[in-house]
A and B are shown apart, each in its own frame.
Chain A
């Protein structure tokens, strides 16, 4: 009994070590963002400062980064992410309903196709897509980039949503149909409300994809007032040397929304994973 307790304590200590190592880089980012410059470049780095300052946040939010205000980058990122979420969510919901509810020819082919394109090297696709958008006159525009992001989010969104649609008992829809509801009505009043949690999870994933994306935004957007937050981070190095305080404040502003979203769906995600694993 005592040995068992001792061992449990050992695992708990190990757990705390893993926790500390996992969050340390993010902690260091946030803590640097609050440090005054002399503490940032001090010969002996300290984990936290006794004289926290909001100056770096003020600089980032108040002064232009490469001649454009933080809020412009923020707005561009937000618009891109929201458009991606809505469009890919809609497309994915339709397709996920099809593969979860119907058996049809090419169904397996379609699913295999999703698996394949989900793995496609976007780093290679950037070259032909650059030429395509150029031909369509969509380079250097947020709508062109949104189009690309929708394409990248859809395959995974379908694969994720499929499980959520399949988990809704088909009997509910059949009952509604017996009561005289047409397919459209069944979709909106039965399927949609029940699949809403899945839609939220899918949306958050699409949001994060668009919010974090760097390569395509960097390649396709020329004008600074069209750039997104990850691109803004790149400007920091060019324009203000190594203003690490401001860089870390900006990183914090870019990162925290994603972490909050991620943790919000964490439980659903983990339980979704577990549920999938148990069904033998």
Chain B
């Protein structure tokens, strides 16, 4: 996560110069040093990613788990899901949620970052410490707390909404069940996820802002441009690399959100599924596991995220993060 940190500029390179004398002979040293990490990553991440592809073409149920060879079904699972309106519904949930959550996270996070930059040191530390509490909260507890805040018995949000004038928010909030419809479930999920994700954006934007020379803003002020204009003509272009990385990372995180939705809504509530929950539910959700089918859905999710990751890697490489 934190590597967005240095996204603004190139990290200074202290490695050996790639001089001819050095590069001619292959030194085993660095390869030996990366080998253990590489092995772990290959076995635990690269190999499984390949496996999902293979598994998505196979029938893997209880009998296969007991040792029978997996039966090849070709592209059947993909044909099935693409023809199934339920798949498109989960995909729509996934995309819409990501769009709304990322927009809100970026907007609110950036505003908090700008505010932190304007505050005095002590106040900035206090506020930064406060938002870091939100960031640090485990996803499971975050989901539980928001389920409680939006709950029907003793829930604070319903109580508050019930107190507000009906003309403003409508009536009948006292027993409103937030987890009865997908739209309201996703509303709570959005609040929860945005609450946890804003701090990272805020802190990263703050780090970026600190790197912008004050003279630029002073010059702009002398030229008569207001804060709004300075923001769009100075801050946004200079922080564009940071914004790019933050947006891509947020898209990826929000696309595959699982834990919070699982805790709030569970596997029984199929109407509110996103792609992650759908894949999981097919693979593990019943006594009759369909690991091949779950893999096919996971493949779709992975392919979408690979495209987004490609954008991310391009941005990082261009900024010299890998130099």
Which residues of A approach B to under 8 Å, CB–CB? 8, 11-12, 14-16, 18-20, 22-23, 25-26, 28-29, 32, 40-45, 90-92, 94-95, 97-105, 107-108, 110-117, 119-132, 134, 147-148, 150-152, 154-156, 158-160, 163, 166, 169-170, 205, 208, 211-212, 214-215, 219, 230, 233-234, 242, 244, 247-248, 251, 254-255, 258-259, 261-263, 266, 269-270, 272-280
Binds A, one of B96-104, B164-172, B201-209: B201-209
Question: Within the assembled complex, what's the spacing in Å between the Cα atoms of A130 and B23?
Answer: 43
Interface residues of B in 257-285 (CB under 8 A from A): 258-259, 262-263, 276, 279-280, 283-284
Question: Within the assembled complex, what's the spacing in Å between the Cα atoms of A261 and B136?
Answer: 9
Residue of A whose beta carbon sits closest to that of B209: A277
Interface residues of B in 283-318 (CB under 8 A from A): 283-284, 291, 294-295, 298-299, 301-302, 305, 308-309, 312-313, 316-317
Chain B residue contacts of A277, Cβ below 8 A: 5-9, 207-208, 210-211, 242
Known: A98-B29, A242-B153, A254-B138. A103 touches B115 (CB 8 A): no
Select one of B13, B51, B127, B284 contacting A128, CB under 8 A.
Answer: B51
The answer to whether A32 touches B302 (Cβ under 8 A) is: no
Give the bracket for the number of chain B residues in contact with chain A. Answer: 35 or more
Known: A103-B16, A158-B37. A123 touches B298 (CB 8 A): yes
B 17-61 to A, binary, CB cutoff 8 A, 1 in contact else 0: 110001100110111011011101101111111011001000010
Question: Within the assembled complex, what's the spacing in Å between the Cα atoms of A119 and B151?
Answer: 33
Binds A, one of B71-79, B85-93, B117-125, B177-185: B117-125
B 112-151 to A, binary, CB cutoff 8 A, 1 in contact else 0: 1001101110011011111111111111111011101101
The answer to whether B203 touches A104 (Cβ under 8 A) is: no
Chain B residue contacts of A18, Cβ below 8 A: 112, 115, 127, 130-131
The answer to whether A248 touches B210 (Cβ under 8 A) is: no
Chain B residue contacts of A279, Cβ below 8 A: 6, 9-12
B237 within 8 A of A: no
Chain A residue contacts of B234, Cβ below 8 A: none
Question: Within the assembled complex, what's the spacing in Å between the Cα atoms of A170 and B211?
Answer: 26
Distance (whole angstroms) from the CB of B174 to the closest CB of chain A: 9
The answer to whether A111 touches B322 (Cβ under 8 A) is: yes
B252 within 8 A of A: yes
Known: A12-B119, A134-B65. A28 touches B134 (CB 8 A): no
Distance (whole angstroms) from the CB of A138 to the closest CB of chain B: 12
The answer to whether B115 touches A129 (Cβ under 8 A) is: no
Distance (whole angstroms) from the CB of A142 to the closest CB of chain B: 16
Select one of B31, B45, B259, B298 contacting A215, CB under 8 A.
Answer: B259
Select one of B31, B34, B116, B133 contacting A259, CB under 8 A.
Answer: B133
Which residues of B approach A to under 8 Å, CB–CB? 1-3, 5-18, 22-23, 26-27, 29-31, 33-34, 36-38, 40-41, 43-49, 51-52, 55, 60, 65, 112, 115-116, 118-120, 123-124, 126-142, 144-146, 148-149, 151, 153-154, 156, 159, 195, 199, 203-204, 206-208, 210-211, 242, 249, 252, 255-256, 258-259, 262-263, 276, 279-280, 283-284, 291, 294-295, 298-299, 301-302, 305, 308-309, 312-313, 316-317, 321-323
Distance (whole angstroms) from the CB of A158 to the closest CB of chain B: 6
Distance (whole angstroms) from the CB of B272 to the closest CB of chain A: 16
The answer to whether B2 touches A273 (Cβ under 8 A) is: yes
Select one of B13, B16, B119, B204 contacting A15, CB under 8 A.
Answer: B119
Chain B residue contacts of A273, Cβ below 8 A: 2, 5-6, 203-204, 206-207
Distance (whole angstroms) from the CB of B234 to the closest CB of chain A: 15
Select one of A90, A119, A129, A214 contacting B48, CB under 8 A.
Answer: A129
The answer to whether B123 touches A15 (Cβ under 8 A) is: yes
The answer to whether B52 touches A94 (Cβ under 8 A) is: no
Chain A residue contacts of B44, Cβ below 8 A: 129, 147-148, 150-152
The answer to whether B1 touches A115 (Cβ under 8 A) is: no
Most buried by A among B14, B30, B135: B30
Enumerate 15 A-B pairs (CB-CB under 8 Å) in ascending A order.
Answer: A32-B148, A124-B299, A131-B60, A151-B45, A155-B41, A214-B259, A233-B141, A247-B144, A248-B145, A251-B145, A262-B135, A266-B129, A278-B210, A279-B10, A280-B211
Knowing that A124-B49, A277-B5 are A-B contacts, what are 15 other residue pairs whose CB atoms are under 8 Å apart, sorted by A's residue number? A14-B115, A19-B127, A28-B148, A112-B313, A120-B305, A127-B291, A128-B48, A154-B41, A159-B3, A208-B136, A242-B153, A263-B132, A270-B206, A272-B2, A277-B6
Distance (whole angstroms) from the CB of A81 to the closest CB of chain B: 12
